[in-house]
């Protein structure tokens, strides 16, 4: 059941577009040779997905650190719930809220009122990044939170007993030990971002085009299912390569330690 749809996509990718769209059986590599026609979409995704992942990480780490280390137990539960609550509503609804916030009557009018000039936020790559960080933050916060939570507090005491300043303790003890969480969070967010289409479509005003958007257009607009399948196969290959490289990198970086779990 898991691989069946993938097999269909794989077979379709060698076919051709029917005269009125859809799929017609054939065997050719034309669809793959034509992949250059979607290069811009791949490029946009390969730029914005890592930036989005990094932005998520930069905001999620301090938040997770605060939750796991600083917050009192009473507040901890409360704040954790606050992080999860947005997940209870569909991302579609939440994106609409951002359309209003970033639209002309939202934040830009506030900025204009403060005398900082007119700026456009909605329908820009910036708006898409805001949506991405907002939508994927919990996926980054939780793995980091868990790894910080499990961290043996006696190690921190030992460090300070031996005279290490707090910053050193953080850099040499806390940060390295929370790396499994960071690696998992980044992986989760990055993989999902590569296939994202809703946030760019809604907050990018149709002007920020991910591979996901190219796929939606190919399947439901121009109905070139064969080429769409080839793009999907290419996306899977790109992900496989990136993820393998990423795992190699994190493993080497961790010096072959096996307690760094990725998935």
Closest to another protein by CB, 16 vs 187, is 16
Q: Which of 143, 236, 242, 245 is nearest to 195 (CA)?
A: 236
Q: Is residue 178 exposed (0-12), middle (13-18) or buried (19+ Cβ within 10 Å)?
A: buried
On whether the CB atoms of residues 196 and 132 are closer than 8 A, the answer is yes
Closest to another protein by CB, 123 vs 250, is 123
Closest to another protein by CB, 44 vs 178, is 44
CB of 58 to another protein, least distance (A): 28
CB of 168 to another protein, least distance (A): 48
Plot region of 27 (φ>0 → left; ψ -120 to 50 → alpha; else → beta): beta
CB of 20 to another protein, least distance (A): 5
Residues linked to residue 40 through DSSP beta bridges, in sequence order: none
Closest to another protein by CB, 39 vs 88, is 39
Closest to another protein by CB, 94 vs 251, is 94
On whether the CB atoms of residues 14 and 26 are closer than 8 A, the answer is yes
Q: Which residues contact 92 (CB under 8 A, 6 or more apart)?
A: 198, 202
Closest to another protein by CB, 17 vs 185, is 17
Helix (H) or strand (E) holding 238: helix 225-253
| Residues at the contact surface with another protein, assessed by CB under 8 A | 17, 19-22, 37-38, 40-41, 44, 99, 103-105, 120, 122-123, 205-207, 209, 213-214, 217-224
d(C-alpha 186, C-alpha 52), whole Å = 10
d(C-alpha 50, C-alpha 191), whole Å = 10
CB of 159 to another protein, least distance (A): 51
CB of 258 to another protein, least distance (A): 42
CB of 36 to another protein, least distance (A): 11
């Amino acid at each position: 059941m898991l691989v069946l749809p993938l097999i269909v996509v794989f077979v379709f990718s060698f076919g051709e577009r029917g005269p009125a769209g859809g799929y017609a059986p054939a065997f050719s590599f034309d669809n793959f040779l034509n992949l250059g026609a979607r290069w811009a979409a791949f490029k946009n995704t390969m730029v914005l997905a890592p930036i989005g992942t990094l932005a998520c990480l930069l905001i999620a780490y301090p938040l997770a650190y605060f939750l796991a280390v600083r917050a009192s137990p009473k507040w901890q539960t409360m704040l954790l719930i606050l992080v999860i609550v947005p997940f209870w509503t569909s991302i579609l609804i939440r994106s609409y809220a951002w359309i209003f916030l970033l639209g002309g009557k939202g934040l830009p009018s506030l900025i204009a009122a403060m005398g900082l000039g007119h700026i456009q936020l909605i329908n820009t790559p910036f708006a898409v990044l805001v949506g991405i960080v907002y939508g994927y933050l919990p996926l980054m916060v939780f793995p980091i939170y868990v790894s910080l939570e499990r961290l043996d507090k006696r190690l921190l005491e030992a460090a300070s007993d031996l005279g290490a300043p707090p910053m050193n303790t953080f850099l040499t003890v806390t940060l390295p030990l929370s790396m499994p969480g960071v690696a998992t969070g980044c992986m989760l967010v990055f993989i999902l971002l590569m296939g994202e289409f809703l946030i760019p479509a809604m907050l990018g005003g149709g002007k920020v085009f991910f591979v996901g958007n190219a796929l939606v257009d190919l399947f439901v607009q121009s109905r070139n299912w064969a080429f769409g399948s080839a793009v999907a196969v290419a996306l899977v290959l790109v992900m496989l390569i990136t993820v393998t490289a990423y795992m190699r990198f994190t493993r080497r970086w961790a010096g072959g330690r096996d307690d760094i779990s990725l998935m």
